[in-house]
Amino acid sequence: MNLDVMIKESSRLRDAIANTRDACATRPMSEDRKGLAKIREAAFARVDIASLVFFRIVFGLVNAGLVVRVLWQHLLGPWWASAPFLFNYAGFSWVKPWPGIWLQFHWITLGVFALFIAIGFLYRISTVLFFLSHTYFFLLDQGRYVNHLYLIGLFGLLFVFVPAHRAFSIDAWLNPNLHAQTVPAWGLWLFRTQMAAAYFFAASYRSLLLDLFLAPLLLWRRTRLTAFARR
């Protein structure tokens, strides 16, 4: 008798689980899940790769030009090698300039990696090495921080994950299976979002300083002309 009861209860439980599973499968998708699905669909939608390839080429050539300019103007010494003091970032005091000609050699390799990114040669390796090399020079001295150098390092990191070498690159020429005319939209939006964020906060910071310092000058007659000139 007890065995029959247990069998019936087990069968009833199994039916309840099956009904619950069917109900969950037929339940309409919630608004949150619909929103996530739309975001996922938009992020992985295929878009033309042309703009991303153009940005990759410009990025590589501009950074290669920066390397040449620094070498041409002999700025490695004043900036890092022979600087009397380097204002290190917190936690990165162990980052020191290479001795002797090794700093110049490292800087030249940075330009080589930038050129490789531009032509799409050994793209994955070049982007990783470019990011690490640029980050090394970036961390040497906090006093040389500018938004553009920060963005270069950030974009170098993003290129590691974005397939910007699938068209108009040596890698795609050597490996036709790599070639593609489209990429997921998230690759483009990564760069757009970071670019917008960096310049939005930079502009907001400058505007805040103008409001804090120029407004009082406008109120005082003796400094009013100076404030207008600054604006």
E-assigned strands of 89-202?
Answer: 182-184
E-assigned strands of the chain?
Answer: 46-48, 182-184
Q: In this model, does residue 40 exceed pLDDT 60?
A: yes
Residue pLDDT, tens place only, 54-73:
999 999 999 999 999 999 99
Beta pairing partners, 46? 184
pTM above 0.85, yes or no: no
Total residue length of the chain: 231
For residue 52, the surrounding DSSP H or E stretch is: helix 50-72
In which band, very low, low, confident or very high, does the pLDDT at 159 lie, cut at 50, 70 and 90?
Answer: very high
Please tell me the number of Cα atoms within 13 Å of 211 on its side-chain side.
6
DSSP-derived 3-state class of residue 73? coil
